[in-house]
Amino acid sequence: MIPDLGKYAGAVLSSYAISLALLVALVVLSLWRAARVRRQLEEVEARRVSDD
């Protein structure tokens, strides 16, 4: 399945692995923080409505 990368296989695969790992980490962290902040906001909003 993986094409024959010859003697540079290590370089190509590691750069793909590192780059994709960094991108995935960035996306996951962004989405995770987005979800957490959204939950918090909902909590605070709910508290506010019940106070009124």
Partner 1 sequence: MSLWEYANPKKFMQTSQAVLPAIWGLTALSMVVGLVWGFFLTPEAENFGSTVKIIYLHVPAAMMAINAWVMMLVASLIWLVRRHHVSALAARAAAPVGLTMTVIALVTGAIWGEPMWGTYWAWDPRLTSFLILFLFYLGYIALWEAIENPDAAADLTSVLCIVGSVFALLSRYAVNFWNQGLHQGATLSMDKQENIANVFWFPLLVCMGAFILLFVALVLERTRTEIRARRIKALIARERMA
Contacting positions for partner 1 (CB under 8 A): 2-9, 11-12, 14-16, 18-19, 22-23, 26-27, 30-31, 33-34, 37-38, 40-41, 44-45, 47-48, 51
In whole angstroms, the minimum distance from the beta carbon of 1 to partner 1 comes to: 8
4 vs 15: CA distance, rounded Å: 16
In whole angstroms, the minimum distance from the beta carbon of 28 to partner 1 comes to: 11
Q: What is the DSSP string of 28-42?
A: HHHHHHHHHHHHHHH
In whole angstroms, the minimum distance from the beta carbon of 5 to partner 1 comes to: 4
SS3 4: coil
Place of tokens 């010859």: 6
